[in-house]
Chains A and B, each alone.
Chain A
Amino acid sequence: MENTFTIQVNGRNESITTDPERPLLDVLREDLGLTGTKFGCGEGQCSACSVLVDGKRVRSCVTPIGKLAGKKILTIEGLSNGDSLHPVQEAFLSAAAFQCGYCTPGMIIRTVELLENKPNPTDEEILNWMESNLCRCCGYPKILEAIQSAAKATAKGDSQ
Chain B
Amino acid sequence: MTSPVRPFDGIEEERYELFEMNTSRFELSRREFLSILGPGLLILTYGSTALAQRFGRGDRGDDSVSARLHIGQDGTITVMTGKVEVGQGSRAELTQAAAEELKVDPSHIRLIMGDTALTPDDGGTYGSQSTPRTVPAIRRGAAAARDILIDAASRMWGIDSERIQVVEGVLKDSSGEKSIRYAELVDRPEVVENLQSSVPSGVEVKPVSEWEVMGTSLPRPNGKDIVMGNHRYPSDIVRPNMGYGKVLRPPAYDTTLKSIDPSEVEKMEGVTIVRDGNFVGCVAPNSFRAAKAVEALAKTAEWEIPDHPSSKNLYSYLKDHAREGGGRRSRGDEKGSVEEGLSNASKTLDAEFDIAYIQHAPLEPRAAVAEWKGDRVTVWTGSQVPTRVHRELCDAFDLEPDQARVIIPDTGGGFGGKHTGEVAVEAARFARAAGKPVSLRWTRKKNSLGRIFVPLASSKPREDWMRKDP
Contacts and interface: CB of A to CB of B under 8 A. Distances in A.
Nearest to A135: B363
A31 interface: yes
B194 interface: no
Interface residues on A, range: 35 or more
A12 to B, nearest CB: 16
A39 B235 contact: yes
A102 B415 CA distance: 14
Interface residues of B, number: 37
Interface of A is mostly: loop
Interface string A86-101: 0001101100101111
B227 A104 contact: yes
A102 B219 contact: no
A108 interface: yes
A96 B287 CA distance: 33
A43 interface: yes
A113 interface: no
Contacts of B39: none
B224 A93 contact: yes
A9 interface: no
A101 B364 CA distance: 10
5 contacts: A37-B229, A38-B233, A85-B227, A99-B87, A101-B410
B365 interface: yes
Given A46-B363, A101-B231, A136-B415, A35 B444 contact: no
Interface stretch (A74-82, A121-129, A152-160): A74-82
Interface of B: 86-89, 219-220, 223-224, 226-233, 235-236, 238, 244, 286-289, 361-365, 410-413, 415, 441, 443-444
Given A98-B227, A136-B415, 12 more contacts: A30-B287, A36-B228, A43-B444, A76-B229, A77-B228, A85-B224, A96-B223, A100-B86, A101-B220, A102-B87, A102-B362, A137-B413
Contact of B362 (A77, A85, A100): A100
A29 B237 CA distance: 10
A77 B229 contact: yes
Interface of B is mostly: loop
A5 to B, nearest CB: 14
A30 B363 contact: no
Contacts of A26: 286-288
Contacts of B410: 100-101
A115 to B, nearest CB: 15
A100 B227 contact: no
A83 to B, nearest CB: 9
A22 interface: yes
A63 B377 CA distance: 35
B86 to A, nearest CB: 6
Contacts of B229: 34-37, 75-77, 105
Most chain B beta carbons < 10 A, residue from A41, A46, A85, A90: A41
A42 B443 contact: yes
Contact of A102 (B89, B233, B444): B233
Contacts of A11: none
A145 interface: no
A38 B231 CA distance: 11
Contacts of A136: 361-363, 413, 415
Nearest to A22: B288
A103 interface: yes
A44 B362 CA distance: 16
Given A31-B286, A39-B441, A136-B363, A98 B226 contact: yes
A131 B113 CA distance: 34
A91 to B, nearest CB: 9
A119 interface: no
A42 to B, nearest CB: 6
Nearest to A105: B229
A48 interface: yes
B219 A38 contact: no
A157 B89 CA distance: 32
A75 B229 CA distance: 9
Nearest to B269: A1
Contacts of A40: 363-365, 444
B226 A22 contact: no
A18 B364 CA distance: 26
The 9 closest A-B pairs by CB, nearest first: A36-B229, A100-B87, A102-B412, A76-B229, A99-B87, A101-B226, A35-B236, A89-B227, A136-B363
Given A35-B238, A76-B228, A85-B224, A102 B287 contact: no
Given A26-B288, A35-B238, A42-B443, A101 B219 contact: no
